[in-house]
Amino acid sequence: MKLRLMLWLLGLLLKRALRRKPRFREMLTEMRGLDWGIATEDLAVARHYRMSPREIQTGRGLPVDLDLELRFEDADTAVRVLKKPTQQAFLDGMMAGTVRLVGDSGDLQKLQKLLKQL
């Protein structure tokens, strides 16, 4: 339940940043948008975000056409890593096998830079 709430709130924060923060909009325009999602490995909790310079859409589940997916072993692992989403936390999780990245790692770096603007 905690992870679902975190992911829903993340969607609200992204939409708010798009409306209020010019630097966020500028970075998103440079990226030409990004479609990404977060889920547990069993897909019990999954949410995707479609970000463009004009709008941000969020929804349940993981469509197959996403640029980037972050998969976590379980909800507790996801909450722990997402509370402090540093590059080191993701690397440690990948080495331990609790975090899996589906997509380009360059997109993850772009996403992390963008999320710093929240």
pLDDT tens over the chain, length 118 residues:
899 999 999 999 999 999 999 999 999 999 888 999 999 999 999 999 999 999 999 999 999 999 999 999 999 999 999 888 788 888 899 999 999 999 988 898 888 888 888 8
For each of the domains in the chain, give its residue range(s) and CATH number, in order of start: 2-115 (3.30.1050.10)
User: Residues 39, 72: contact at Cβ < 8 Å?
Assistant: yes
User: Residues 15, 24: contact at Cβ < 8 Å?
Assistant: no
Q: List beta partners, residue 103.
A: 68
Residues 6+ apart with CB under 8 A from 70: 36, 37, 38, 39, 99, 100, 101, 102, 108
| Burial bucket for residue 51 (CB in 10 Å: 0-12, 13-18, 19+) | buried
